[in-house]
Amino acid sequence: MKITLAKTSPLLQPNFVFGVATSSFQIEGAADSREPCIWDTFCDTPGRIKDNSDGKVACDHVARWRDDIELIAGLGVDAYRFSIAWGRVINRDGSINEAGLAFYQQLLDALQAKNIKAFVTLYHWDLPQYLEDHGGWLNRNTAYKFAEYTDIVTKAFGDKVYSYATLNEPFCSAYLSYEAGIHAPGFQNRQQGRQAAHHLLLAHGLAMRVLRKNAPHAKNGIVLNFSPCHPASNSAADVRAAEMADQYHNQWYLQPLLEGCYPPLLAELAANEQPLMVDGDMAIIAEPIDFLGVNYYTRTVYRANEKGWFSDVPPTTPPLTDMGWEIYPKGLTEILLALHQRYTLPPIYITENGAAMPDTLLQDKVADQHRVDYFQQHLQATEDAIKAGVDIQGYFAWSLMDNFEWAEGYAKRFGIVYVDYVTQQRTLKNSAIALRDVFANRR
């Protein structure tokens, strides 16, 4: 049940940041005190959420945040990563929701009092529905609205925030949401997926300019998800498919940020599938960042398909998580080293890493040994990357507690803390205790 790191591990150095992470829609609840977002609409659409649930209550965090801060502090973390619900801060008419803003200010004050660094994500997928009604991320103006929202939030928060991430996983907000259709708002159109991606990256660049001005002492950057793309076979077609998938899913979001251009695969898209861009966009997108957040869960295997494109091959060989994802810790080291060799990177934080497991609460305990093993292996993979020369400055476990897992509803549990959704009772799983012991051993 223990997680062990060598006494000399770089992860145990005083300046390495350990934290836990959440997102607003997944935990907050209190839907009646904010504007509806695209996920509220998605949840209200029959057949979209596997267990027909919604985020109206979730973990009731808005009501229980004081207890949750005590819970976080009890884990001995250095940092807490959480997101702001845009619609809790800005009303439909453009006015500020003062009570919503005050909620986050109280949260920041409480973290500061506990000496816990606040890592704030400005956008974790919950676009206000009033913006979606005008086209959402397909509307270029949404990027400018995001910059305005960033300006309001950062002026209000002052120097209480250690780090700002503009976006969490724009891949999900673009590809899963506008192209694959499995996330809100649920469209299925390649051009729209590429257009949403471009406007998200534009929003990031515009927001970075605001952050430079309003929060110059914070570490400001972005969080991207990465999955190593492996070919299903050694055939030239499958190798090529994996390379295309890497460009389309990984490099599409990072290369513009660091090099001011999209991957070569852009030229292979039909003209009517390419995003519309304006002169100067790429310069805005490539604003310098102080850090890159890396979210990692698994690798993906690809084969060539009959359309000359790529298809993923779902894993079947154990060990798999409750999401059906392969447990592949060396993929974390692999992707970090590949990025390190390919780009001149800013400092990196592992901003999400974790696993959904079929947890059972028995006699006030959750014996989630598989998750303990997962963390053990991925912390080791992080250490291996650091020893190979990658500048990694922190690691955040996903997630602090079980929560609304998007299209999966409440059926999948990623938390290191078990949540009984009827009573809202929180119970530390064995993984939380194991991580707490690792954090404590540094003191």
The Cα 159–Cα 289 span in angstroms is: 18
Query: Which of the following is catalytic: 169, 287, 326, 405?
Result: 169
| Spatial contact of 409 and 50, defined as CB atoms under 8 Å apart | yes
Structure tokens at 266: 């852009």
Residue 352 annotated to the active site = yes
User: Where does 75-217 have alpha helices with state H?
Assistant: 86-89, 98-113, 129-132, 141-157, 170-171, 190-214
How many Cα atoms within 13 Å fall on the side-chain side of residue 280? 1
Q: Edge-to-edge, what's the strand order for the sheet holding 300-304? A: 229-231, 300-304, 310-312
The Cα 405–Cα 403 span in angstroms is: 6
Secondary structure in 3-state letters for 91-116? CCCCCECHHHHHHHHHHHHHHHHCCC
| Spatial contact of 282 and 204, defined as CB atoms under 8 Å apart | no
| Spatial contact of 328 and 318, defined as CB atoms under 8 Å apart | no
Q: What is the distance between the terminal CA atoms of the chain, rounded to a whole angstrom?
A: 21
Listed in sequence order, the residues at least 6 apart from 356 whose beta carbon sits closer than 8 Å to its beta carbon are 321, 322, 323, 405, 412, 413, 414
Of 313, 169, 321, which Cα lies nearest the Cα of 250?
169
The Cα 80–Cα 7 span in angstroms is: 25
Rg (CA), the chain: 21
The Cα 369–Cα 373 span in angstroms is: 6
Of 178, 181, 180, which Cα lies nearest the Cα of 197?
178
Helices vs strands, H then E, count in the chain:
15, 13
The Cα 31–Cα 76 span in angstroms is: 30
Query: Which of the following is catalytic: 132, 326, 352, 405?
Result: 352
| Spatial contact of 196 and 187, defined as CB atoms under 8 Å apart | no
Residue 98 annotated to the active site = no
The Cα 38–Cα 36 span in angstroms is: 7
Tell me which amino acid residue 2 is: K
Q: Which residues are catalytic?
A: 169, 352
